[in-house]
């Protein structure tokens, strides 16, 4: 269901598209391919020239390769369009600092420590910050090690998604129905 119509007349000025695909690789690793594109509906002038309406201001790609524990083992960055060619697009190698971070444990803090401010690209960082929840969606339905039973009945550890979402709180009705092993009585 789309948003309701706006209460006022309006004119589109900016579009940001984020597209993410997750692939299981033949070698047992996973690739998360993410792309961020920004476009304007009008020409914009920059000190180094202009960008015509409809041509991307940013078209940035990020590929994380992760293992079965969601630890990043490789990174690739590519820039199709940036506002300052020869400058914006030189930061890619710095993102190798993400190798070793785990998407499901301390990832966002690790990103901030390694790539915040002038040490990184705000657009790549914003794109990377949404990847932990993409990983959860990709890995939470039986594809990962020890995840064969979505009810959690055969797992030794509580599924990551529990208590990380209002619907999947361990003292809530959904967990009592779908993950009974992990359900706890609410504090009343």
- Choose the weakest-confidence range: 4-18, 114-128, 140-154: 140-154
The model scores a pTM over 0.85: no
The percent of residues above 70 in pLDDT, for the chain, comes to: 91
Q: Are 108 and 125 in contact (CB under 8 A)?
A: no
Lowest mean pLDDT of 40-49, 111-120, 142-151, 157-166, name the range.
142-151
Contacts of 137 (CB under 8 A, 6+ apart): none
pLDDT digits (tens, 9 = 90+) for 6-41: 999 999 999 999 999 999 999 999 999 999 999 999
**Ramachandran sector of residue 21 (left: φ over 0; alpha: ψ -120 to 50; beta: rest):** beta
């Amino acid at each position: 269901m789309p948003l309701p119509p706006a209460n006022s007349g309006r004119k589109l000025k900016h579009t940001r598209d984020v597209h993410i695909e997750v692939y299981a690789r033949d070698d047992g690793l996973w690739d998360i391919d993410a792309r961020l594109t920004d476009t304007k509906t009008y020409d914009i002038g920059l000190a180094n020239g202009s960008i015509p309406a409809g041509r991307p201001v940013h078209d940035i790609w990020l590929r994380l390769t992760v293992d079965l524990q969601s630890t990043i083992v490789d990174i690739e960055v590519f820039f199709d369009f940036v506002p300052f060619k020869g400058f914006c697009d030189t930061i890619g190698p710095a993102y190798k600092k993400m190798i070793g971070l785990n998407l499901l444990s301390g990832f966002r803090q690790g990103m901030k420590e390694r790539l915040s401010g002038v040490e990184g690209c705000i657009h790549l960082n914003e794109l990377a910050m949404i990847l932990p929840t993409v990983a959860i969606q990709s890995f939470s339905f039986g594809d990962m090690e020890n995840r064969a039973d979505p009810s959690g009945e055969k797992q030794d550890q509580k599924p990551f998604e529990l208590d990380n979402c209002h619907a999947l709180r361990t003292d809530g009705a959904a967990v009592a129905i779908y993950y009974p092993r992990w359900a706890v009585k609410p504090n009343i």
